[in-house]
Amino acid sequence: MSFFSTNVTDDVLLALGLTLFAGLATGIGSLIAFFTQSTNKKFLSIALGFSAGVMIYVSLVEIFVKAKDALTAAHGDTKGYWLTLVGFFGGMLVIALIDRFIPKASNPHEVKTVEDVQYAQEHAEAERLMRMGLFTALAIAIHNFPEGIATFMSVIQDPSVGVAVAIAVAIHNIPEGIAVAIPIFYATGKKMKAFKWSFASGLSEPLGALIAFLILMPFLTDTMFGIVFAGVAGIMVFISIDELLPAAKKYDEAHSSVYGLVAGMAVMAVSLVLLA
């Protein structure tokens, strides 16, 4: 039983391109930071909620189910379901361990606004700000690597799902770009240097996709596909619960994060029906 598109070359190119787009959204974050004096918190809350809605819906309704279908077809209902659960919670464990060993100040799940880092600049020396920015860039690079694999695998399995995942990942990468660029800019006074570090921190996402293509694809049986795809679902659900929803609620105004969450789920649901 095969779960892959017949036009593999086109799917791979699309997957690599979308993953590159999602990763380099960190550069968009740095540009926003340089050209705005304050963060539109209502928009940020809606956008993060929307991203979480897309990720949660597509993970639980589409990706998890297709992973289970692949594994139960290959191993039977009981064993296949257990393997799906192992992959799902294994994905959560991977991203949780990455977060566990990243210092809180540099953790990309600690979403920062322009005002947050401006306050830090007023109360810290340039050397510490520079260190903050570089450590945040490294943390985001490490964190984005499995996200790159997740985005790539989503596109390979179903391009319509992959597009939605890439957009959701790109949205949540924008605040991460702010967290890298602003402290480096305040430490050095050089916008281009800050932009380059912010831009570079997102490159690990397409690198993760490239690793998935070179290492996973040649050995991607239905069993491995099912386990990896279940892990993708686990990674995205964890990111949504641990990062996106708390950040959206932090900047919430009149339940805007909830409206964004529901809108993200609705858009994802409708797109899956229309593109089926």
Could you list the residues known to form a binding site for Zn(2+), using ranges: 147, 172, 176
Task: State the binding site.
Answer: 144, 147, 172-173, 176, 205
Alpha carbon of residue 264 to chain centroid: 15
**Binding-site annotation, residues for Fe(2+):** 144, 147, 173, 176, 205
